[in-house]
């Protein structure tokens, strides 16, 4: 079975995207997408990606997005993927504002004049502030998915590679979590390194950047407009009463057809 796909990334957070608006997509609508994600996302042996994204029609809004992590598990939310599918819809329709249903609720998304994409991730919540886990003190934040944010003095030793996996599976968390080690640069700038559940180390994470800013504001470290530096690039977070706005560039890397086993 031949499956057409798009490969896109946002600051290096990369995805294989299946477009269910495309003609003939009904023929692969009943696939086991957990298995498809594992196969397609494998580096070297598949296409290679942090996750598989399904862009689907929805009768009550512009589109619906489903996400599978590289290990085949389901992801509740992804700000990077949401910006990528917003760009696809913009290319299809010429519109600049969209409502997209996600597993974390309905999200409003915009294409800006400079072709960056902004998505409203909603208002984060603090599940556990100054929580002790595996020798670290961090904030457990929910923004449609869960993030453990640890503020440190330096990222040079790549703490996410050393401790990301053990924190992801920390027994005190009710579910596996994304992990971010963060450094404060000034009140409007932070840097993070990322360990995503079901993926491992990634170059960027939109919801992680927003959760880091939320944690920084809660701890009196950051103002409401922040640039977040990640290994793959920079995003901007604006915190307001209407939600946390995530903005940044997205890029289509290539498109192709994958020969899926039947």
Q: Tens of pLDDT along the chain (262 residues)? A: 889 999 999 999 999 999 999 988 878 878 999 999 999 999 999 999 999 999 999 999 999 999 999 999 999 999 999 999 999 999 999 999 999 999 999 999 999 999 999 999 999 999 999 999 999 999 999 999 999 999 999 999 999 999 999 999 999 999 999 999 999 999 999 999 999 999 999 999 999 999 999 999 999 999 999 999 999 999 999 999 999 999 999 999 999 999 988 5
pTM (predicted TM-score)? 0.96
Q: Is residue 79 classed as helix, strand or coil in its secondary structure?
A: helix
What six digits make up the tokens of 80?
């990077």
Reduced to 3 states (helix: H, G, I; strand: E, B; else coil), residue 20 is coil
| Catalytic positions | 78, 205
For position 245, what pLDDT does the model report?
98
DSSP-derived secondary structure for 222-244: --SEEEEEETTEEEEEEEETTEE
Top CATH class, 125-241: alpha beta
Within 8 A by CB and 6+ apart from 59, the residues are none
Query: And the tokens for 107?
Result: 């999200």
CATH topology identical between 2-121+249-259 and 125-241: yes
d(CA 179, CA 198): 11
Domain ranges of the chain: 2-121+249-259, 125-241
Instruction: Tokens 């290096």: give the residue.
Output: 12
Rg (CA), the chain: 18
Q: What pLDDT is recorded for position 28?
A: 80
Q: CB of 252 within 8 A of CB of 8?
A: yes
H/E segment holding residue 87: helix 79-93
**Cα separations in angstroms, 258 against 1, 9, 135, 151:** 8, 18, 44, 41
How far is Cα 261 from Cα 49, in angstroms, rounded to an integer?
A: 19
Q: Which two tokens stand for residue 116?
A: 């960056």
Structure tokens at 253: 């890397």
Chain centre to alpha carbon of residue 190: 18
Distance CA 12, CA 248 (A): 12
State the CATH architecture for 2-121+249-259. Roll (3.10)
DSSP label at 26? G
């Amino acid at each position: 079975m031949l499956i057409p796909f798009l490969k896109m990334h946002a600051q290096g957070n990369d995805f294989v995207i299946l477009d269910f608006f495309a003609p003939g997509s009904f023929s692969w609508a009943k696939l086991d997408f957990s298995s498809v994600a594992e196969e397609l996302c494998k580096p070297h042996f598949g296409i290679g990606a942090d996750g598989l994204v399904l862009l689907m029609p929805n009768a009550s809004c512009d589109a619906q997005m489903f996400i599978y992590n590289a290990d085949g598990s389901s992801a509740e939310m992804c700000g990077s993927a949401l910006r990528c599918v917003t760009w696809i819809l913009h290319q299809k329709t010429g519109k600049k504002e969209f409502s997209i249903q996600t597993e974390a609720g309905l999200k409003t998304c915009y294409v800006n004049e400079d072709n960056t994409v902004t998505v409203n991730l909603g208002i984060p919540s603090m599940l556990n502030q100054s929580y002790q886990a595996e020798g670290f003190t961090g904030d457990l934040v929910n923004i449609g998915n869960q993030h453990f944010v640890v503020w440190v003095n330096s990222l040079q030793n790549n703490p996410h590679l050393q401790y990301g996996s053990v924190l992801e599976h920390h027994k005190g968390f009710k579910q596996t979590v994304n992990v971010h080690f963060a450094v404060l640069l000034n009140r409007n700038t932070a840097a993070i390194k990322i360990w995503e559940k079901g993926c491992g180390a990634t170059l960027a994470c939109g919801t992680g950047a927003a959760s880091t800013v939320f944690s920084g504001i809660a701890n009196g470290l950051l103002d409401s407009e922040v640039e977040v530096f990640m290994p793959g690039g920079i995003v901007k977070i604006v915190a307001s009463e209407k939600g946390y706005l995530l903005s940044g560039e997205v890029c289509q890397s290539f498109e192709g057809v994958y020969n899926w086993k039947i």
